[in-house]
Amino acid sequence: MKRSEVAAAQRRATDLLDAHGIMLTPEERANVEVAGFGLGNLERQGLELVTYINTDRYCAKELVLFPGQTCPEHLHPPVGGEPGKMETFRCRHGVVYLYVEGENDGTIQAEVPEGSEAYYTVFHEIELHPGQQYTIPPGTKHWFQAGENGAIVSEFSTTSRDEFDIFTDPNVQRMPAIVED
């Protein structure tokens, strides 16, 4: 991903947070993480994150998704004798379609990103609106997508070890390189 693309996504994410009354410090604004997952299409498969705190006991983040943007299917495995990350998603703005393991009724509201259909395997749908939340147990495959107006999700979890996440799509690079323009 090009540095200019990262900067544009950071501005867009902070604008969305500002518009919905979620204030960031100058340092947080400068450190918005843009996760393109190395898939070359940030608008469709990506995520913007602000990490407030991540210690050996707990983590708090804001997740920003642009309209229709999808965080690819993954799970948080056990690490160093600890169970995988348990996380609670609380919707702050927009609609989030969250998919986890379990029964589904045969239809979903999200659109699986074209060309990546083989890498999306769980379809039990949880639709989150502002004020609603859902807790994802450790080791549970999941993915999520913003509705047509984008979404902001507050994540509260046990320690985040993103570098150990297991993605269904072998093409995903959790920490891809950023290149100069």
The structural domain count of the chain equals 1
Instruction: Assess whether pLDDT exceeds 80 at residue 181.
Output: no
Tokens for 98, please give them.
Answer: 């969250």
Tell me the CATH number at 9. 2.60.120.10
Q: Distance between the two ends of the chain, CA-based, in angstroms?
A: 9
Q: Kindly state whether residue 91 falls inside one of the protein's structural domains.
A: yes
Question: What are φ and ψ of residue 3, in 5° steps?
Answer: -55, -35
Cβ atoms within 10 A of the Cβ of 78, count? 12
The secondary structure of residue 170, as a DSSP letter, is T
Question: What are φ and ψ of residue 8, in 5° steps?
Answer: -65, -40
Range of the domain at 47: 3-167
Contacting residues for 64 by C-beta, under 8 A, at least 6 apart: 13, 16, 17, 32, 47, 48, 49, 50, 150, 151, 152
Task: Provide the pLDDT confidence category of residue 160 given band limits of 50, 70 and 90.
Answer: very high
Q: Kindly state whether residue 56 falls inside one of the protein's structural domains.
A: yes
Q: Kindly state whether residue 89 falls inside one of the protein's structural domains.
A: yes
Q: Kindly state whether residue 181 falls inside one of the protein's structural domains.
A: no
Q: Kindly state whether residue 178 falls inside one of the protein's structural domains.
A: no
CB contact at 8 A, 63 and 16: no
Helix ranges (DSSP H) in the chain: 3-19, 26-30
Q: Kindly state whether residue 180 falls inside one of the protein's structural domains.
A: no
Q: Kindly state whether residue 179 falls inside one of the protein's structural domains.
A: no
Q: Kindly state whether residue 109 falls inside one of the protein's structural domains.
A: yes
- Mean pLDDT, to the nearest integer, of 85-104? 97
Instruction: Assess whether pLDDT exceeds 70 at residue 49.
Output: yes
CB contact at 8 A, 167 and 128: no
Instruction: Assess whether pLDDT exceeds 80 at residue 124.
Output: yes
Residue 176 confidence (pLDDT): 66
> What distance in Å separates the CA atoms of residue 138 and residue 125, rounded to the nearest whole number?
18
